[in-house]
Structure 1
Amino acid sequence: MTEQIAATRIYNVLFLCTGNSSRSIMAEAILNRDGAGKFRGYSAGSHPTGTVNPLTLKVLGSYGYSTEGLASKSWDVFTGPEAPVMDFVFTVCDSAAGEVAPVWPGQPVTAHWGIENPTRGTGSDLEREAAFVAAFRYLRNRITVFSALPLASLDRLNLGARLRDIGQLEGTTRPDPKVA
């Protein structure tokens, strides 16, 4: 018998990045608004910066997304007995994809959705902000496709394949094979 994902509950989704200051934070905010009550988004980092990048907050706000409660935190927050059990865990930066992650309770479905790091952008203020806008749009596109998946009708194997396909949408990066 193939395992099916239940259709009637709210799914917990954790977005991981190394610093947890931009991409994973954006993904959390996007999913919490656009997931239409079907998903609850969280974010964390393997080596969190401790602060959310101001351009992340500016871009989210400019598109009407709430920034209330967003914080840079360690992925260890989600490994303890009091942590919510995750249904899905997505890495959104290539360095986090190459790290040894904790064992997540509940055996969540995982995938890598690499997006270029907007904090590495250079140039004028406008050019640096444009890098954050691009990351936001790529993440929003992935989350829109993810949110529309018929979760109840997909077995775990097919779901994993669909999630990996989402990670290949426009704007994808590739993990450095030397890091893994």
Structure 2
Amino acid sequence: MTRKQRVLFLCRDNATLSILAEALLRELDGLHFDAFSAGLEPADRVHAAALGELRHGFSSLDLLNPKSWLEFTSEWAPEMDFVVTLCDESARVDVRAFHGTPKLRHWTLTPSAHGATHAIENAFWQILKRVEDFIAAERRPWPSSLKLPAVASCTTDACDLLLSGQ
């Protein structure tokens, strides 16, 4: 069976942008992707306005907390398939610090996406669009594990045998 692709979103403080990206990817396609986020200098807590954007309908808010990117470089850390940076500072991180060979992506957001609380709504919509585009471009289809024989036609007795497993 194919495992989910693992995606790490990085920003400076892991309080807003990377948190939004992690939550959106998990919510929109948690079937195909495992989403994580981290920061170069993690904040003490998630920005309240970021949680406000996610409040309606998001089931994974309890999983969101700022953490250091170094947690994803230790020897026990999971191998990432993608590392997505969300600020210029995090874009300078050496992707070789991670296990395996993750693909590096950098998402540039408009300047109004940074800073003041009212700008977080703008960041939310930008990241939502980026996550949707990412899913469309990177989702791998699950392998077809159930191969049923093609039956052109069958009598009632033959169909009963197929359904009963005899």
Q: Where in structure 1 are there 5+ consecutive unaligned residues? A: 1-6, 122-127, 154-180
How does the TM-score come out when normalised to structure 1? Answer: 0.70
The answer to whether the aligner puts 1:80 opposite 2:68 as a matched pair is: no
Identity level (%)? 36
Q: Where in structure 2 are there 5+ consecutive unaligned residues? A: 142-166
Please, which moves more after superposition, 142-151 or 26-35? 142-151
Question: Which residue of the partner structure matches residue 147 of structure 2?
Answer: none
For residue 98 of structure 1, the aligned residue among 73, 92, 99 is 92
Change (3 A) 1:76 1:102: farther
For residue 53 of structure 1, the aligned residue among 8, 31, 47 is 47
How does the TM-score come out when normalised to structure 2? Answer: 0.75
**Between Structure 1 and Structure 2, how many residues are aligned?**
139
Contact 1:22 1:119 survives alignment (8 Å):
no
Q: Which has the higher contact order (CA 8 A, sep 6+)?
A: 1
Contact 1:21 1:51 survives alignment (8 Å):
yes
Change (3 A) 1:151 1:96: same
The answer to whether the aligner puts 1:136 opposite 2:124 as a matched pair is: yes
**Higher radius of gyration, 1 or 2:** 2
- Give 1:101 shift: 5.8
Change (3 A) 1:75 1:102: farther
Which 4+ stretches in 1 moved above 6 angstroms? none
